[in-house]
Structure 1
Amino acid sequence: MKPLITPSSGVHVVLPDYYSPDGMGLIVPKTKDGRVIFMLPWLGKTLAGTTDSSTTITMLPEPQENEIQFILDAISDYLCVKVRRTDVHSAWSGIRPLVSDPSLTNTANISREHIITEGPEGLVTIAGGKWTTYRSMAEDAVDLAIRIGSLKPTNFCVTKDLALAGTADWDPAFFTLLAQQFIRMKKTRSGKVFPGVMDTSISHHLSCSYGSLAQQVAVIAQDEGLGKRLAHGYPYLEAEVAYCARNEYCETAVDFIARRSRLAFLDTNAAAKAVPRVVEILATEHKWNRARRKLELKSAFAFLETFKASKNTQFEDLKH
């Protein structure tokens, strides 16, 4: 049987914010060798990509140096900024599940979209797609299952209007409430606690990441002495690790640095410096023993080894 999925590797790099003006992106639909390249402002940095090459499926894909250099060379043709390898804060490879319709014989019909097929005995198979279209994928799959099974739903699909957690009572100015009503209590290694400001960068990050639930994170930062930043120059707080362990099924250090936050993708070196503290907080929350702590440290650093950042990148400020 012809396989549905063709794995494709895509590499992205993260550069300092001055590579892209705030609120403005760039796409080059056809570079000198016919490929597509783009740059976008992303979480205070610049995201640039991408490549598209066949690959094998692995749990820890790694970008190749020639792929990183291709992106840097391609964007340098359109910038007045000197593009330097030492400016790469993070570089990673992801695997796209490109899909081909098994009912078609044209091998060129490979798509980034999803397909849904009906198999023997009414088996519904969904393949391909992207995180950004998960709701549409789910709706299409359920609609087909309804038709195949001659089901009679009591209402139409509701996913289009289903609100995400944290949207209740939230508005774009919500971060000002956090800045005005909360402080960050920061605990030192010696156990002393001293207050810090819930500044604009932190309150805005919490508001955008957690919506109205950000107040729960702010309470932990204030009442439990977990108000320190996890990394210099970034708004992620120790309180977020505890919150995610309690409320968002954060079970590993990699869960936090890569999935609950984007620190690994924004700045690999900063993420590596944060890992020991992330493990320490998760160990307290989940009551890990020493062996589990060592395993988490090893797994997190192995994960970060697949990110090819420059060892010479500098943090943008020294505030903690």
Structure 2
Amino acid sequence: MNRKPLKGIHHVSALTAKAKENYHFYTKILGMRLVKKTVNQDDTSVYHLFYADERGNPGTDLTFFEIPYAGRTHPGTNSISATSLRVRDDQTLEFWKTRFKKLQIDHDEISYESGRASLAFRDHEGQRLILVSDQENEGVAGGIPWDKSPIPQEKGITGLGPVHLTVSRPERTINVLTNLMGFREKPGYKRELDQKQVRVFETGEGGSGAEIHIIQEEEMSRERPGRGSVHHVAFRVEDVEELNKWVEALNESHLSNSGFVERYYFRSLYFREPNGILFELATDGPGFEGDEDFEHLGENLALPPYFEERRKEIEAQLKPLDTKE
């Protein structure tokens, strides 16, 4: 059955221990828009927060599950070891470097090792993030930063960039990316930190919004996730028809998978690649405006229709989180 190529990165979902502090960092410091305040559909006792461009376009969402009292992350292999966020150009990185210094945000120097200007930094929980410049980028278009953000719109984050995977046996991950998922390899680079080779793979129209960067690390132990770690990465599928083709393809490849999963804001399919990293395939739609209008996205607790009858019970389990500020 012919399948269309995956269109790029759809979203990245990470872990936080405190939703209130997480909301402050990603909206007030990074200037992203909270486009949906909802719950983890597999555990409705905790928040699921979606930060993105002005309306949560596919490829712009960085999401967080709140896991109260989550321990710290012990970085290691077989993990999603960094998430990139795109900005317009190289000069914008200078703006962010100055801002990080002023606000005492842990950050590195601007680097050009990947062929793009980039600025690595960490949030208050140690989440590993990288700002990447789109100045020399071609491929999947970015989103539009929210014009009511505390960050000037021209300096805002436009979406997700390359996702970094650190794995012990890269050939196993690469086999799934290329032979099953249709990614193609492009020129890689060496990391300045340790001169390790980074292999780069892209899908769809390519560019920073459609790349996976793979680093081999054999001597580290497996990552122990906690606050500041990444739970999974999702890739863009056009629609439900295409998603069903991927369900069939995974079954034919004998890869254990979730099958079709209804998430209301998009439809999904989950599986673990051979090094144990959780991948999701997610449809571009329907999007986040089915239960809230554009002007008021993220202001109230949104629940998919199949959870509405449990709203009082669900709200009673959650700590209040004011997102109307």
TM-score, normalising length: structure 2? 0.27
Bigger relative CO (Cα 8 Å, ≥ 6 apart)? 2
Greater fraction of residues in helix = 1
